[in-house]
């Protein structure tokens, strides 16, 4: 289909432009769908690492809480003498 007139050339250019815009829009939409599906899938290795991190932090907090007893200053009994 060879355009014979200026009007045919303009119509072809407009239809090509419209087709390009539609295709570009479809590609963007497909890209966004792929991103969303990747983000929605939970990673088991990440969940396991996160669980291990939470468990370790919990242990560390418990150790800190338990060790504060030993960090309190001890009052020396003045009645006791060095022997």
Q: What is the pLDDT of residues 22-68, one digit of tens each?
A: 999 888 888 877 765 555 555 677 888 888 899 999 988 888 777 76
The DSSP call for residue 83 is -
Cβ atoms of 12 and 3 closer than 8 Å = yes
Domain holding 12, by residue range, is 1-40
A 10 A CB-CB count for 49 gives: 11
pLDDT for 41: 55
| Tally of structural domains, the chain | 2
Cβ atoms of 19 and 13 closer than 8 Å = no
- Nearest CA-CA partner of 16 in 4, 31, 1, 32: 1
pLDDT for 10: 87
Residues 49 and 27 in one domain: no
Residues 1 and 31 in one domain: yes
Residues 1 and 36 in one domain: yes
pTM above 0.75, yes or no: no
- Longest CA span, the chain: 120
């Amino acid at each position: 289909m060879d355009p014979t007139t200026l009007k045919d050339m303009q119509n072809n250019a407009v239809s090509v432009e419209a087709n390009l815009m539609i295709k570009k829009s479809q590609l963007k939409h497909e890209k966004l769908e792929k991103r969303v599906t990747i983000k929605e899938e939970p990673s088991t290795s990440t969940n396991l690492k996160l669980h291990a991190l939470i468990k370790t932090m919990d242990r560390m907090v418990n150790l800190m809480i338990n060790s504060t007893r030993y960090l309190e200053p001890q009052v020396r009994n003045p009645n006791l003498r060095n022997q």
